[in-house]
Amino acid sequence: MTKSKLAYAATDKSDISTKLGSPFMTLYLKALEFKVVITKGVRTVLVSIAGNGTADQVDFKLNRSVIVSVPTANHFADANGRGKMVADGQEGYSDFTFRARIYNNTTTNQSSAGMLFFKNSNGSLAFLDNSLAVFKQTDQNNRTSLISAWRWN
């Protein structure tokens, strides 16, 4: 995507999928546990998550991943973390890291972010090797979230 297309996608108020097409990956997450840690006066929330999804028609499970979320001003938080996707019923896995900007108010939690897949991806998830994706996360009910991701070329 060129710089001008990126600027247009970022400023246009219509649905992101209109600009980027269909997502190559969908992921359903569930928060398992929360832990609040205060370090040097900064309140940080550690969240353990698990989930499952599909990437390019390959089903996978997301083994326990940890998100570190640091609240900032005006209902925003910065979050980053790591995880491992494991192919479901096939061989293959992919480790990843991500960084997100979360908007949180009384009615919704949404974030947009980048996800980097490491060079160790293999088996049926080898296509993720050393790639980058952008994603949109929308929180559902009962500590669950839906993530839709698009390749970033």
Q: Higher confidence at residue 65 or residue 62? A: 62
Span 133-141, mean pLDDT? 85
Q: How confident is the model at residue 122 (pLDDT cuts 50, 70, 90)?
A: very high
Q: Which domain holds residue 56?
A: 23-151
- Please give the angle made by the CA atoms of 70, 74 and 75, to the nearest 5 degrees: 60
Establish if 14 belongs to a structural domain. Answer: no
Span 109-123, mean pLDDT? 88
Q: How confident is the model at residue 117 (pLDDT cuts 50, 70, 90)?
A: very high
**pTM for the predicted model, two decimal places:** 0.77
Q: Higher confidence at residue 109 or residue 45? A: 45
Amino acid 27 reads L
Establish if 13 belongs to a structural domain. Answer: no
Q: Tokens 């992921």 correspond to what residue? A: 27
Structurally, the chain folds into a number of domains equal to: 1
Question: Measured between alpha carbons, how far is 73 from 113 in angstroms, rounded to an integer?
Answer: 18
Q: Does residue 33 carry a pLDDT above 80?
A: yes
Establish if 3 belongs to a structural domain. Answer: no
Most confident listed range (6-20, 39-53, 71-85): 39-53
Establish if 52 belongs to a structural domain. Answer: yes
Write the CATH number for 51.
2.40.160.20
Establish if 44 belongs to a structural domain. Answer: yes
Establish if 9 belongs to a structural domain. Answer: no
Establish if 38 belongs to a structural domain. Answer: yes
Asked if 30 and 42 count as a contact pair (C-beta separation under 8 A), the reply is no
pLDDT of residue 106: 60
- Please give the angle made by the CA atoms of 112, 118 and 123, to the nearest 5 degrees: 110
Q: Does residue 132 carry a pLDDT above 80?
A: yes
Span 68-91, mean pLDDT? 84
Establish if 4 belongs to a structural domain. Answer: no
Q: How confident is the model at residue 108 (pLDDT cuts 50, 70, 90)?
A: low
pLDDT of residue 85: 94
